[in-house]
Amino acid sequence: MPDYTAPIRDMTFVIDELVGMDSISRLPGCEETTSDLVTQILEECGRFSSEVLAPLNQPGDREGSSFDNGKVTTPAGFKEAYLQFIQGGWNALQFPAEFGGQGLPRIVSTPVTEMCKSANMSFALCPLLTGGAIEALLLRGAEEIKRMFLPKMVEGAWTGTMNLTEPQAGSDLALIKTRAVPATDPEFGSHYRLFGQKIFITYGEHDLAENIIHLVLARTPEAPEGVKGISLFIVPKFIVNKDGSLGKRNDVQCASIEHKMGIHASPTAVMLFGEKDGAVGYLVGEENRGLEYMFIMMNAARFAVGLEGVAISERAYQRALAYAKERIQSRDVAGSDKSVPIIRHPDVRRMLMSMKAHTEAMRALQYVVAASMDIARLHPDRDERRRHQAFVDFMIPVVKGWNTETGIEMASIGIQVHGGMGFIEETGAAQYLRDARIATIYEGTTGIQANDLVGRKLAREGGVTAKVVIGTIRAVETELAQAGNSALTAIGESLGRGTSALAECAEWITGNYKADIRAVHAGAVPFLKLTGIVCGGWQMARAALVARKKLDAIRKGGDGDAAFYEAKIGTALFYADHVLSQAGGLRDVVVRGARGVMALAEEQF
Amino acid sequence: MKVLVPVKRVVDYNVKVRVKADGTGVETANVKMSMNPFDEIALEEAVRLKEAGKATEIIAVSCGVQASQETLRTALAIGADRAVLVQTDAELQPLAVAKLLCAVAKKENPTIVLMGKQAIDDDCNQTGQMFAALMGWAQGTFASKVIVDGDKVSVTREIDGGLETVSLKLPAAITVDLRLNEPRYVTLPNIMKAKKKPLEVLAPDALGVDITPRIATLKVEEPPKRKAGVKVPDAKTLVEKLKNEAKVIQ
């Protein structure tokens, strides 16, 4: 068996039966994206991921990217795999046909990206960053800039980066110091010269592609202080000539790469701009609006990182499951002649179910949000677009924060299933935990996501979207109660208690935001977790309803995989009992917990 | 020069095959299916012949249930120009498939028919040979190298004890072995293009072929479970056991 097998059955279940592929195929421009085409794409990408990307994951972790005198070398096999990846057209999947892409919707790019991340998270970071840079240029790049850079970037022949962080400017980008000075050298057309240092630049330097296109946040000389004085620039490693060929080496250098806890194969670079006469850069959009542009892209970037949580959980689950089936240890607690595979032990079973249930819940939530992103972008009706955009905006911090936090937890359980062997690097289980650890940090820490959720997404709009979401979940509860099936009734009751906890907290937060903002922020992360748990439960409950209907149809002689649907209901029930049941405790933390958080004066620490 | 490539839909090579509870055959419901890997190698070779300018058109053919269209779509994504499905829900045995392929070949007039040496589900290794005989064509089986030169094709065959190279007059039937090539990964643009390529569906009756099985399957059962091994203390005991218990040496 391969090391990683794409979970195509569950993916297509979510796409076809939970999201409903026809709701996407009806959108203008998606007419050809039919269910059978999507399945074929998933099959082929799944094959590529498990046969090419997955085998490089562990060796890539061991070897890591290396740095020597300004040059970065990725681990053995990465360059060949990257070439195969772009030749396969995978980099171009979701980008417009105008620049050489296939223009496929997010409901397709999301599972495809999940596979690449599961197979090899370090590898998948390179196209993730290129994608972010492409989105920025599509949104705000001048026509000339788009023509110059986009075709090569969409193809993947050139990769992209995001240069935001500086040593003194991490979560707070207002503190950026990198300077951009207007310059007049006729050789380069309308341009600026950039000077400064950027850190934590993922794939800032590497040997996978012939050119690297850096998107850089910097200040122009007359720029106002703070966030309103930051502009966005495009700085290519090699200047691109008018005819599209590569010209001079630009004044941007990689000074070193970091030694990290995980994602060893992904080079995290320190970048120096303008050590000589300044790095040639071109303005994207207008001056002083850089941060605003970054925020437009932020949804996509945070969504993509949230997907890493799903991907790493899936990989950790597959590894743990394989081990639990083959590892023979101790007799069955209820009695057996011989020692049994550890999957028969109830506690191991509980851990595996926890991994399976969380992974499926996160995947369902992530894909449902992906579909809403497609509808918000493409639906002909304005109200429909607005409705879905509001849902997306509300869910992004949840998908980012909850999926990545849960990803860490699941990778950790994966190690636990292995016992002592999980602590030994050889099994590979430990790598998933080390790799997962970054996902709650970059693109905004969980704390930042939670602040965004309680502030911008909840309190600022008076909880309007939260109420819509809660109303939708209530309707699912009614359906579950009316199904007349004991498992569905139990799921419905558990979901009901979770939703009530969520509603209570949302009301408390909107009511107290102005009066006691510290108290609200003290409970922001628990609230984010609560929202994730309930929304995940909402999707599992919907999945159980779909599965029940399908099983009834199969019983009446219809086609279908009864074992899959039965497992879906069992998994949803586990989720209701073991995960949704935490909602009440989290409610108490949110509404009461602040007094303890702020109880000590600073001097008492 | 037209090349015809028959492809079979089989249980995926990663799936652990199970016998149906009633012992009538192998369980295929809700099991992942894919293209027979040997046929994939045949198709890859055909695509390479086209890329080298030797072949002008590649036609993929499958015989079987409607879902075989998925396998044909994969064939189109790998590089076939069009596809033909001879659709039937009936059990197809190698002779019936060979006859159906003959009927299609007579319609299409290919110069080369390239197929897998066997399918990984029934391991029959008969269809190619039967097809060549029925057509009265030359055949080169178990190919590990294929060189087309004018009206001849040189086929290097993997045989017991080594390699044998034969020169065949075209048209010819070639069945391929594992080492012929390494199939490419399907690219996304080609999946998208495959959707628009023609796929024709024919009925066995329309081809005038009687597909009635000639062999009746009496019973299908799982191979016996392997017994646990034993550790032997030394080579002498091993030789003894091989001689007297296993009786594999004298």
CB pairs under 8 A between A and B: 52
B88 domain-assigned: yes
Number of domains chain A contains:
1
CB B185 to CB A48 under 8 A?
yes
Q: Name which of A84, A88, A102 is nearest B192 (Cβ-Cβ).
A: A102
H runs (alpha helix) in A251-335: 290-326
* Residue A453: inside a domain: yes
CB A234 within 8 A of CB A137: yes
Which residue in A5, A41, A561 is closest to B30 by CB distance? A561
Element (H, E) at B139: strand B138-149
B74: contact with A, CB 8 A cutoff? yes
Q: What is the mean pLDDT of residues B189-199?
A: 96
User: Which helix (H) or strand (E) segment is B192 a member of?
Assistant: helix B188-194
Q: Is residue A591 part of a domain?
A: yes
Domain that holds residue B164: 2-244
Domain assignment of residue A11, yes or no: no
A87 in contact with B, Cβ within 8 Å: yes
Whether residue B104 is predicted with pLDDT greater than 80 in this model: the reply is yes
Q: How many CB atoms lie within 10 A of CB B160?
A: 5
To the nearest 10°, report the CA torsion of B21, B24, B30, B35. Answer: 140
Q: How many domains does chain B have?
A: 1
Confidence at residue B247, expressed as pLDDT on a 0 to 100 scale: 86
Rounded CA gap, A556 and A315, in Å? 36
State whether residue A41 sits within 8 Å of chain B by CB. yes
Q: Has residue B219 been placed in a domain?
A: yes
Q: What is the pLDDT of residue A1?
A: 46
Q: What are phi and psi of A407, to 5 degrees?
A: -55, -45
Q: Which helix (H) or strand (E) holds A530?
A: helix A524-555
Single pTM value for the model: 0.94
- Rounded Cα gap, residues A36 and A42, in angstroms: 10
Contact B108, B24 (CB under 8 A): no
How many helices (H) and strands (E) in chain B? 6, 11
A225 is catalytic: no
Strands B82-87 and A279-284 turn out to be unpaired
Which tokens hold the place of B97?
């498939």
- 3-state SS, residue A436: helix
B191 touches chain A (CB under 8 A): yes
Tell me if A345 is assigned to some domain.
Answer: no
On whether any CB of chain B is under 8 Å from the CB of A1, the answer is yes
A266 CA: distance to closest CA in chain B (Å): 24
What sign does the CA torsion over B44, A120, A107, B32 have? positive
Q: A283: closest CA among A174, A183, A152?
A: A183
Range of the domain at A577: 445-596
Q: Is the peptide bond between B171 and the residue preceding it cis, with omega within 30 degrees of 0? A: yes
**Separation CA A451–CA A518 (nearest Å):** 11
Please check whether residue A217 lies inside any domain of the structure.
no
Span B18-46, average pLDDT: 94
Report the distance separating Cα A402 and Cα A409, nearest Å: 10
Strands A211-218 and A231-236: antiparallel
Tell me what pLDDT residue B35 has: 97
Averages of pLDDT over runs of 10 residues in chain A (605 residues) are 87 97 95 94 97 97 97 98 98 96 97 98 97 93 95 98 94 93 91 97 98 97 94 97 94 98 98 97 96 85 96 98 97 94 98 98 98 97 97 97 98 98 95 98 96 96 96 98 96 98 98 96 98 98 98 93 97 98 98 94 96
| CATH number, domain with residue B164 | 3.40.50.620
Neighbour-count burial for A305-316, b at 16+ CB within 10 Å, e otherwise: bbbbbbbbbbbb
Q: Of the residues A287, A443, A477, A479, which is catalytic?
A: A443
Residue tagged 């499926």 (tokens): A360
Tell me if A371 sits within 8 A of A23, measured CB to CB.
Answer: yes
- The pairing of strands A179-183 and A191-202 is antiparallel
Whether A97 is in a domain gets the answer: no
Dihedral of the alpha carbons of B9, B10, B11, B14, in degrees to the nearest 10:
-100
Structural domain contains residue B198: yes
Q: What is the pLDDT of residue A2?
A: 56
- What are the two backbone dihedrals, phi and then psi, of residue B19, each rounded to the nearest 5 degrees? -85, 140
